[in-house]
């Protein structure tokens, strides 16, 4: 038995509209921060904090390890930016 009683040509638009409505349900109250009268989403500040903290950590590690780079720098530094950005978001905005 078919759960949707609609004709086959109406299933795809119906499922697409349900998916779109479900995806925008969380956008009713966007977390934003007012800066000089303009509102910016909080994830922008978290990404900036993640980049700055990664730069500070890289400088500290370069002094301690005497310039020895990590094993996979193209993987390590972006992953560290993501980790620190998410930690900043969890600590500050949750």
Residue 16 within any structural domain of the chain:
no
Number of domains in the chain: 1
CA-derived radius of gyration, the chain: 22
Q: What is the pLDDT of residue 26?
A: 61
Average pLDDT over residues 20-44: 74
Strands (E) across 1-94 are located at: 32-35, 38-41
Task: Tell me the pLDDT band of 80, cut-offs 50, 70 and 90.
Answer: very high
Average pLDDT over residues 57-65: 84
Q: Which residue has the higher pLDDT, 24 or 27?
A: 24
Task: List the domain range (segments joined by +) for residue 44.
Answer: 29-93
Q: Which residue has the higher pLDDT, 88 or 4?
A: 88
Residue 20 within any structural domain of the chain:
no
- List b or e across 7-45, with b for residues whose CB sees 16 or more CB atoms inside 10 angstroms: eeeeeeeeeeeeeeeeeeeeeeeeeeeeeeeeeeeeeeb
Q: What is the pLDDT of residue 42?
A: 84
Residue 14 within any structural domain of the chain:
no
CA distance 93 to 51: 18
């Amino acid at each position: 038995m078919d759960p949707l009683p609609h004709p086959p040509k109406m299933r795809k638009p119906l499922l697409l509209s349900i998916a779109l409505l479900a995806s925008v349900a969380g956008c009713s109250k966007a977390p934003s921060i007012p800066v000089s009268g303009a509102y910016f989403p909080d994830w922008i500040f978290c990404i900036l904090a993640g980049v700055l903290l990664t730069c500070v950590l890289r400088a500290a590690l370069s002094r301690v390890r005497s310039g020895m780079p990590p094993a996979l720098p193209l993987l390590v530094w972006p992953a560290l930016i993501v980790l620190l950005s998410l930690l900043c978001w969890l600590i500050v905005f949750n």
